[in-house]
Chains A and B, each alone.
Chain A
Amino acid sequence: MSTADKIEQGKMAVIESITPSELSLHLMEMGFLPGKRISLLQRAPLKDPLAFKLENTVIALRKSEANLINVKLEN
């Protein structure tokens, strides 16, 4: 198991769970739910924030927030 901030650019991963925190509800409302596939589209030039593709939309998260998303990396 890994977390979303460790996905390599252009690679996909499947969300397994969201670490409970103040932000978990907000993350889930935005559509980060167990079972969803996400990919890392872009890393901001200073390595943070990260832009994830989720379904048809692109959402930027900070590293610390992406770290709350537990994922299974795909090859």
Chain B
Amino acid sequence: MPEVLTPETPTQQSTFTVALIGNPNVGKTTIFNSLTGLRQKVGNYPGVTVDKRFANIKLGKQEATILDLPGTYSIYPNSEDEVIVHRVLNGLDKENKPDFVLAVVDMSSMERGLFLVTQIMDLGLPMAIVLNMEDSAEEQGIKVKTHALYKSLGVPIIQSNARSNKGINGISELIEKKMFEKPQPFLNIQELLPESLSIAIQEKFHLKNTYQAYQLIRFHENEPLLDEGQREWLENQMDSSGFNIKQIQLDETQHRYEGIQTVLDKAVEKTDLGRKRLTDKLDSIFLHKIGGYAIFLGILLVIFQSVFAWSAVPMDLIDGFFASLSSSIAKLLPAGVLTNLITEGIIPGIGGVVIFIPQIALLFAFLGILEDTGYMSRVVFLMDRIMRPFGLNGKSVVPLISGIACAIPGIMATRNIGNWKDRLITIMVTPLMSCSARLPVYVILIGIAVPESYIGPFNLQAIALLGMYLLGIVAVLFTSWILKLILNFKEKSYLMVEMPLYRLPRWKDVLITMYSKSKTFVFAAGKVILTISVILWVLASYGPSSAREEAIANIEVPSNDAPQEVQDDYQSQLASAELESSYIGIMGKFIEPAIKPLGYDWKIGIALITSFAAREVFVSTIATLYSVGTDVEDELTIQQKLESEIKPETGEKVFNLATAFSLIVFYAFAMQCMSTLAVVYRETKGWKWPIIQTVYMTALAYVSAWVVYQILS
């Protein structure tokens, strides 16, 4: 019994749910933010509101839940993103049954907005319409007679300019007073659906009207409340009355647009201002044959240059601060286990997290600006043809670029790729992009392996960093090309993207993005890193006592009057013997044979083990490992410490060029992120793809690291 088709259950409680629905880029999220005060990322390319977001707000004595839904052009889903909207609207999502719908329409593109609005009207949900972007409609010579529109639609209408907060008060008043109205169906469905069929369906499923019967037919394939028998009955009915669903859908679309045209003829006045839009002029620059790509490349270069160069000063300060904090606390507190835990475990652990805030904040600021200005969808346009031979799609560029920040939002952003094969390939390769968690590893290792000199205006280290990002891109293209050859799906790939107007970025939102992303990083990644740091310190400080005694016994104890160098030498031999015989030393030793061909010793082995949960743990692991047993009072920073580390047997540097590069390459390709695996599992609905991905990436990492080490050493 498809009760889902009558979602308008009356609510007596003082809490109610309002869903914001509309085409992409009409200002839903902006309105949501102003209503809820909960500021968050506001994007400009189709699909940035990937998951539904909601907030509870107080309005007078009542409480309302506002849902911000992904943009869609129709209630009949074409992509995973639009499925969310479909489910919410039809009450299939048990937790998010909206009582009211607030449909947001871009006033300068009413026709397409009303297409969706009239579909919702036909569903019979109580609703109201917000005509947003008043300002840009005015600029384009478009005027709407709200009253005439109200008369033909029968739904309350409010005009707004969400960017400058105009009309927001009206909207929240409308919500508070629940001035939503349940409209008459817009479309005369009788014209499309044979009467006998409609009556038969209504009787069988106890439906109220023709439109619900029609909805049932349109959604019957993925309607979970129908059983097999009912579905078959429906299909038989359709067959016997010669009903062609595909044709009817096309007819419905056409009818609907015709109806809308009639409404708009009465309610909208257009004066052609004869101006060439600024956006069109800008497009002739940004989408230029050669210039367009040059600008895109230039933008990427500026991003990396600044992520590397601008963040150097604050990072040095942070690094120095934590080093001196450790040593002054070591002086202040009495010597003992607790002091050691703090100065050798916890403080370096926290420092290892905090130090990357400048870079993460900068990267997210740049990505935020690119989205907010509307440039991202131009990138889709520029890159589509280039990505296609690799089995990707212009829309894959957005997830991949987000993957530079973090694979998780990137993978989630694939939901607006309508085609499953393109989407799956994008999901599989996005973790190969160099995410911000790899950045710490790159920065440290490049700092060791590459001299700090300049070629022209460019820092050699910055070029090396750019090289690492390019390497990630090469791996992405190579892997997707292979996947394209292997995967065999029939579905046809397509691209339909709206290119919004260029807009100035809202600096406040950019700052908020920087702040909230850094906070998320510190608290989410920070917790893992800190926990692992402490565990590591324990594992590195203790071990089976027999092994420890054995290791120490072999070291010759110098006499008390031996010279200072001999004393020092003894101390450091002792420290490294203790570390080697600790629990973690034993684990590292265990995997050493497997990683020796890559140029790694057992300490690096430990870092590899701990990085499986999250790769950014590398730095703090290394920091903990190398400060354990060394005197904290000589304020060496992490990088200096690594550089001075030598192999006890041969006296060579541990982090020589070959090892450093081999390690960089390993980190570039290996799947070392539990959270990414969890998201891939969710998005592909099973363990098959995440497992394939892990095996593939680890193998790729191992082989490439081996090749690099063999070539360089």
Q: Which positions in A face B, CB cutoff 8 Å? A: 20, 22-31, 33-34, 41-42, 44-49, 51, 55-62, 64-65
Partner of B283, one of A27, A34, A41, A56: A41
CB of B109 within 8 A of CB of A57, answer yes
CB of A59 within 8 A of CB of B384, answer no
Report A61 CB to chain B, min CB distance, Å. Answer: 6
* Residues in A neighbouring B569, C-beta threshold 8 A: none
Chain B contact residues: helix, strand, loop or mixed: helix
- Tell me the complex Cα distance, A55–B113, Å: 12
Binds A, one of B29-37, B250-258, B548-556, B596-604: B250-258
* Residues in B neighbouring A49, C-beta threshold 8 A: 381, 384-385, 394, 495
B306 at the interface (CB under 8 A from A): no
Interface-central residue, A20, A34, A42, A56, by most chain B CB under 10 Å: A56
Report A19 CB to chain B, min CB distance, Å. Answer: 12
Please report which residues of chain B, range 454-492, place their CB below 8 angstroms from some CB of chain A when the two chains form the complex.
492
* Residues in B neighbouring A41, C-beta threshold 8 A: 280, 283
B287's closest neighbor in chain A, by CB? A42
Besides A20-B250, A57-B112, 15 more A-B contacts (Cβ < 8 Å) are A25-B246, A25-B249, A26-B496, A31-B115, A33-B254, A41-B283, A45-B382, A55-B112, A56-B108, A56-B140, A57-B498, A59-B497, A62-B495, A65-B494, A65-B495
Decide: A22 near B492, CB < 8 A? Known: A44-B385, A48-B384, A59-B498. Answer: yes
CB of B140 within 8 A of CB of A27, answer no
Report A66 CB to chain B, min CB distance, Å. Answer: 10
CB of A24 within 8 A of CB of B250, answer yes
Interface-central residue, B73, B250, B386, B499, by most chain A CB under 10 Å: B499
Residue pairs across A and B with Cβ atoms less than 8 A apart, 6 shown, are A25-B253, A29-B76, A44-B384, A55-B109, A55-B111, A65-B495
* Residues in A neighbouring B7, C-beta threshold 8 A: none
Binds A, one of B53-61, B190-198, B288-296, B673-681: B288-296
B73's closest neighbor in chain A, by CB? A29
B66 at the interface (CB under 8 A from A): no
CB of B384 within 8 A of CB of A28, answer no
* Residues in B neighbouring A55, C-beta threshold 8 A: 109, 111-112
B130 at the interface (CB under 8 A from A): no
Return the CB mask of B82-121 against A: 1 if under 8 Å, else 0. 0000000000000000000000000011011001000000
B165 at the interface (CB under 8 A from A): no
B640 at the interface (CB under 8 A from A): no
CB of A61 within 8 A of CB of B140, answer no
CB of B386 within 8 A of CB of A46, answer yes
Decide: A56 near B109, CB < 8 A? Known: A29-B73, A31-B257, A48-B385. Answer: yes
CB of A58 within 8 A of CB of B496, answer no
B284 at the interface (CB under 8 A from A): yes
Report B476 CB to chain A, min CB distance, Å. Answer: 19
CB of B289 within 8 A of CB of A45, answer yes
Decide: A51 near B385, CB < 8 A? Known: A24-B250, A29-B73. Answer: no
Decide: A45 near B496, CB < 8 A? Known: A33-B254, A51-B381, A56-B140. Answer: no
* Residues in B neighbouring A31, C-beta threshold 8 A: 111-112, 115, 257
CB of A62 within 8 A of CB of B112, answer no
CB of A42 within 8 A of CB of B394, answer no
* Residues in B neighbouring A29, C-beta threshold 8 A: 73-74, 76, 78, 115, 253
Report A46 CB to chain B, min CB distance, Å. Answer: 4
CB of A44 within 8 A of CB of B108, answer no
Report A18 CB to chain B, min CB distance, Å. Answer: 8
B393's closest neighbor in chain A, by CB? A62
Partner of A58, one of B246, B250, B499: B499
Report A42 CB to chain B, min CB distance, Å. Answer: 5
- Tell me the complex Cα distance, A27–B293, Å: 28
Decide: A62 near B494, CB < 8 A? Known: A48-B385, A55-B111. Answer: yes
B614 at the interface (CB under 8 A from A): no
- Tell me the complex Cα distance, A34–B251, Å: 12
CB of A60 within 8 A of CB of B497, answer yes
CB of A45 within 8 A of CB of B290, answer yes
B18 at the interface (CB under 8 A from A): no
Report B673 CB to chain A, min CB distance, Å. Answer: 33
